[in-house]
Amino acid sequence: MSRHYTRVCNFYYGSKSQKLVKSKKSLPLSNNNQISFDKVEIITRSSTKKISIKQINNLPKLLKKKIILDLKKVTSKKKNFANFNFKKLPNIMGILNLTPDSFSDGGKFNLKNKGIIHAKQMFKSGANIIDVGGESTRPGSKTIKKKTEWNRINKSLRLLNKKIPISLDTRKSEIMEKGIKLGIKIVNDISGLSFDSRTILVLKKSKIPFIIQHSKGEPKNMQNNPRYKNELLDIYDFFEKKIKFLRSKGINHNKIIIDPGIGFGKNLKHNMNLMRNISIFHSLGFPILVGNSRKRFIKNLSGKNDTKYRIGGSVASSLYLMMQGVQILRIHDVNELLQGVKVFKELIKN
């Protein structure tokens, strides 16, 4: 029997969503009446079929049961953690790269107190949390030593943790442990918790919230002709298996965020398909984070290769993702993005 996947779609936002939910014409995402949907796409590896939520009762018994279970995960309330408010869309994770070689801002904030100043500005502009990283994981980058990574971020973490909620962007368990002792709110591991075998033990012991990102290969080779049978469903299966594995290791809390990893072992086609169909991941039952800011797909689509000036593409893709119910956006240009969100929300009021 074919495996079926549930992608909720045809979203409504704001007052229109509230009216439709009240009249039972749409279902709320994460128990939030501000965003809802009235259609479901049933996907297998050989077919797709879109139906209205009213047609679910007409499905064969076993399929109907599967879709209803998925919708329960989609509509269930998400408890807030790590300074995220899942009743509000979108939450913003501001990016602070304290590296000399990150893809768009390497060397910009790693000297003197520039990083601290920038973090405070992003938080003041409306970021919920600041993601601090000391190792570049851009395509082609190489792994650096733990000591080097810690030396890059140590001072900033100590100063910022007292004033601003901090996410720690690292693949290394020893760096995680040090950051947790300083009071970070969440761990962001781009390797999907697979780079360092001790990571699971650290997460289990600390019970800290964490982000699981999908990445195919390592940064040094991930863009060398990445291939999938079906990127959307392969990555969905990856998350499902990873969550099952974590449960088997005794990590039972739900303070987990999933990130499909735009640009990490994906070409333009993969990235576009993931973003267009991002709402499939809601049926896993966890908040979704997307790092679309200044990514290469913007250059591929626009034909311009200046990583510092991809704000237009970042804002456009962020608004699309927000309208698919993505709860968290990882962003460089926080003030500009939130300006766009405020204007957009006002325009779609009715």
Task: Return the active site residues.
Answer: 295, 330
Query: Are 213 and 192 a contacting pair, CB within 8 Å?
Result: yes
Tokens representing 134 are: 């000391």
Q: Are strands 129-133 and 256-259 parallel, antiparallel or unpaired?
A: unpaired
**What HEC string does 175-188 produce?**
HHHHHHHHCCCEEE
Tell me the CA distances in angstroms from 134 to 11, 24, 149, 175, one per residue in order. Answer: 38, 48, 5, 10
- Which of 15, 51, 11, 46 shows the shortest CA–CA distance to 30? 11
Q: What is the DSSP-derived secondary structure letter of residue 339?
A: H
Query: Are 38 and 26 a contacting pair, CB within 8 Å?
Result: yes
Buried-exposed string 39-76: b where 16+ CB fall within 10 A, e elsewhere:
bbbbbeeeeeeeeebeebeebeeeeeebbeebbeebbe
- For residue 95, count CB atoms less than 10 angstroms from its CB and return exposed for 0-12, middle for 13-18, buried for 19 or more: buried
Rounded to whole angstroms, the Cα distance separating 87 from 84 reads 9
Rounded to whole angstroms, the Cα distance separating 262 from 231 reads 11
Q: Are strands 32-43 and 48-52 parallel, antiparallel or unpaired?
A: antiparallel
Tokens representing 49 are: 């079929």
